[in-house]
Structure formats: C-alpha cells, structure tokens
Amino acid sequence: MKTFCLIEPEKVEEMVEGAVARAFARFSGEKPGEKDDRLLTTNEACRMLRVTRQTLHRWKTEGIIPHVRIGSSIRYKESDVMKFIEDK
C-alpha cells in the first residue's frame, strides 16, 4: 500500500536548503556539534528574528546583518543571528 503526503512548496524548499547547508558544512570541515556556526536558511533566520523576508533582505543589503553566499543560496550563521538579537 502506498502512502501519500502533501507538503507545501515552501516546506520542500526549506528541507532541500537545510540538506544542502548540512552537506556544505560536512564538506567544508565544520565539526559536528558546532551549534554556533550552523547555517540558517532565510526562513529560519526570519523566524528567529521575527521579521519578514523583505526586512531581512533589506538588512542584508544594508549590511546590518552578515550573510554567507553558497552558490545562489544565502545563509546566515546562527551565531551572527543570535548576536544581532542580543545587541538589539
């Protein structure tokens, strides 16, 4: 018997981005368990900061919050996001 589940496109994108970030971390030599250097997707960073994607994009463009580009993807270091929250 086959089971089907429906997943929203945004959730699929988030899952793929997360898998790519984890693979990149593995190949770039990041040590397992280094929580501070975990790379966050845009959606994850938005949730942590409680802002919209547009606000985060503006902050990134204005240099308010640092980001990392991996190919065509943008990631945010968890430690940078946490520091931004603490300094806010």
82 contacts: CB under 8 Å, gap ≥ 6: 36, 48
Residue 14 vs residue 82, higher pLDDT = 82
Rounded Cα–Cα distance for residues 59 and 57 (Å): 5
Residue 4 falls within a domain, yes or no?
Answer: no
- Residue 61, pLDDT > 80, answer yes
69: domain CATH number is 1.10.1660
**31 falls in which pLDDT band (50, 70, 90)?**
low
Q: Looking at the 3D structure of the chain, how many domains does it have? A: 1
Instruction: Kindly state whether residue 76 falls inside one of the protein's structural domains.
Output: yes
- Residue range(s) defining the domain that contains residue 44: 10-87
Would you say residue 3 lies in a domain? no
Is residue 5 in some structural domain?
A: no
Residue 11 neighbours by CB under 8 Å, 6+ apart: none
Sign of the torsion formed by the C-alpha atoms of 88, 75, 59 and 63: positive
Whether pLDDT at 84 is above 90: yes
Please give the pLDDT value at position 63.
Answer: 95
Note whether 68 and 75 are within 8 A (CB). Answer: yes
24 in any annotated domain? yes
Please tell me the pTM assigned to this model: 0.60
pLDDT at 29: 62
